[in-house]
Structure 1
Amino acid sequence: MAGLTPDTPTPTALTVHQQSRLLEIEFSDGAHFKLPFELLRVYSPSAEVQGHGPGQEVLQTGKRGVEIVGLEPIGNYAVQPTFSDGHSSGLYAWDLLYRLGANQDALWRDYEARLAAAGIDRDAPMPDAAGSACGHHH
């Protein structure tokens, strides 16, 4: 398991807040994070988002209103959320959730910088692979 050592803090509480769209996590070392669903979705560890190598990441947009509709524990090292847009292939290990929580501000800035660099609006719909009608106009 990448990144998991005996010292990796483990979650002692995990709460999905549907109203505020936050995943609240408390860790064994006392750290306490509230992760927006959008951040979790945009930084999904799945190949669908990360690509299969550096530089192949797929910039996720239009996820501000995304919800977590299911949360499946994977062993005792990760959770697998199902998002309302159908995305469910991301396995979030404890160390990843911890990193996302600890570096939330920097990650938001990085995401916004990548959107700006690509000239894409944060709320733009994702062009879907099937080439939906909304994918064409700019």
Structure 2
Amino acid sequence: MSYSSGYGRGQDDAGGSSTSMKVDSSCVGKIIGRGGTKIRELEQTCRARIKISRDADEDGMKCVEICGSDSEIEKAKRMIEECLAEGRGGSRIRDMEADSGCRIKVSRDGDSRGRSSVELSGSKGAITEAKRLIQEAGVEIVNGDDRGRGW
């Protein structure tokens, strides 16, 4: 993962607890989201305050401070770790594109079963390799064909 497993604990100014975790600066965007939408969603869902340091340390890690009750902090940590584990539209897709030579475009809109369509563009070999990499990542391909028309 792109975060350290060490947490620091303390108390915030309001008498609640606080903890901090280190996150690779290249992954902070997964927590913040476009326009800050993801971090606001996390704060509303777990009812904890999440602050991310502006500057990275010498190892390229940023400090994420979580303030709230112990249960709110635990929920926030779990949700942040889930955000970091997700590769949606991020570095995992870019890595698969680089490794396969295939352009991978994932639809942001899922169907009623939570499945998203994916468009693969490239040579037949590149599409085959992209499908292999996607399956290797644990994604089930439905209605896949050799022409790369979707799944």
**What TM-score do you get using the length of structure 1 for normalisation?**
0.30
Higher helix share: 2
Compare relative contact order (CA 8 Å, sep 6+) and give the higher one, 1 or 2. 1
Higher strand share: 2
**What TM-score do you get using the length of structure 2 for normalisation?**
0.29
